[in-house]
Amino acid sequence: MRILLHRADGVTEPWVRDFASVLPQAEVVLWQEGVPCAPCDYAVLWSPPAALLDHLAKVKAIFLTGAGVDAILKFGDALPPVPIIRLGDAGMAIQMAEYVAHAVLRYYRRFDEYERQARRGVWSPLPQFDKAQFTVGVMGMGMLGRRVLDSLAHFGFPLRGWSRSQKDIDGVTCFSGDDGLDEFLRGTRVLVCMLPLTHDTTNLLARANLSKLPEGAYVVNVARGAHVAEPDLLTLIRAGHIAGATLDVFRNEPLPGPHPFWDEPRITITPHISALTLRSESVAQIAGKIGALERGEPVADMVDRARGY
């Protein structure tokens, strides 16, 4: 069995080593632009260059080393008609829970404001927010969103969630579809975006929808930069309608040096680290799924191309 591996960061050696330990019968072939390689049975990719697609003609399935699928589905019909399988958890959900819980608690306990006060040498207790009014609304209640909601439940925040299909989750007020969006946004104090990037969700967080959040709302985006209209978010923060944002993802990554977000103290920037791919967990999961495919068994986390996630 041959596995085609592509790593955008060029760090392949530990991946090859991990595959050798869990799938010793497999040969891992490293893709290099312009270098011919033998046909492979499976491909393990993240955000491949277009030139790699020519080498997918014989693969039986494409595995992604991440949860999001936009970077592969953008190739549309140029992809072979084989299953595309994303990572399921593999250690990402708990990282997302840590990241989002930290952001929500930081806003709820006003640490962002205390940080700014401290820089100015100000010692001044601020009034506590009323927890009953501090609703957290998670857009996208999939693998990651569900885990985030679970973790926030322990702190007693009123929780709400929005998804495509209607859910029924204990302790979470659930909304769905276009019909449920306005009500969801109007009652959400901290908006957490955990949606996949699809045709329907691109630019969803532009001025019209962001303005529906209550005065003093916060935005946490850990999904994709293109969910948010960046100039609109900045305008609403400067106008005081949105009190702050924690952003892990951006339209252009790395966030360009001159971008105005860098100079806005109410925006916290992290470099797309909210849930990192853990190599060993990911390789073990992919190896298990390859084994299942070889035995003709069903495999979880198949991407639905028509749906876009």
Supply the minimum distance, in Å, between the C-beta of residue 94 and ligand NDP: 12
- The answer to whether 160 is a known catalytic residue is no
Closest alpha carbon to 98 in 270, 252, 229, 244: 270
Nearer to ligand NDP, 209 or 274 (CB): 274
The dihedral formed by the CA atoms of 13, 17, 23 and 29, expressed in degrees to the nearest 10: 20
Query: 3-class SS at 31?
Result: coil
Residue 65 sits in the site that holds ligand NDP (CB under 6 A): no
The span from the CA of 154 to the CA of 104, in Å, is: 13
Q: From the candidates 86, 147, 164, 224, which is the catalytic residue?
A: 224
- Exposure letters 185-202 (e unless 16+ CB within 10 A, then b): bebbbbbbbbbbbbeebb
The span from the CA of 32 to the CA of 117, in Å, is: 51
Q: From the candidates 207, 251, 272, 279, which is the catalytic residue?
A: 272
Query: Containing H/E element for 242?
Result: strand 242-247
User: What is the DSSP secondary structure assignment for residue 41, as one 8-state letter?
Assistant: S
Residue 192 sits in the site that holds ligand NDP (CB under 6 A): no
The span from the CA of 221 to the CA of 225, in Å, is: 8
The span from the CA of 211 to the CA of 269, in Å, is: 22
Residue 309 sits in the site that holds ligand NDP (CB under 6 A): yes
Supply the minimum distance, in Å, between the C-beta of residue 281 and ligand OXD: 12
Residue 142 sits in the site that holds ligand NDP (CB under 6 A): yes
Query: Residue 254: is the preceding peptide bond cis (ω within 30°)?
Result: yes
Nearer to ligand NDP, 29 or 93 (CB): 93
Decide: 308 and 202 in contact? Cβ < 8 Å.
Answer: no
Supply the minimum distance, in Å, between the C-beta of residue 72 and ligand OXD: 11
Q: Which of 222, 237, 267, 287 binds ligand NDP (CB under 6 A)?
A: 222
Supply the minimum distance, in Å, between the C-beta of residue 86 and ligand OXD: 8
- Angle CA(92)–CA(98)–CA(100) in degrees, nearest 5? 100
Nearer to ligand OXD, 175 or 250 (CB): 250
The structure tokens listed for 49 are 């260059």
Per-residue contact string for residues 193-212; x = within reach of ligand NDP by CB under 6 A = -xxxxx-xx-----------
Nearer to ligand NDP, 67 or 286 (CB): 67
Residue 245 sits in the site that holds ligand NDP (CB under 6 A): no
- The answer to whether 227 is a known catalytic residue is no
Nearer to ligand NDP, 55 or 224 (CB): 224
Residues that bind ligand NDP (CB under 6 A): 66-68, 92, 140-145, 162-165, 194-198, 200-201, 222-224, 248-249, 272, 274-275, 309
Active site residues: 224, 272
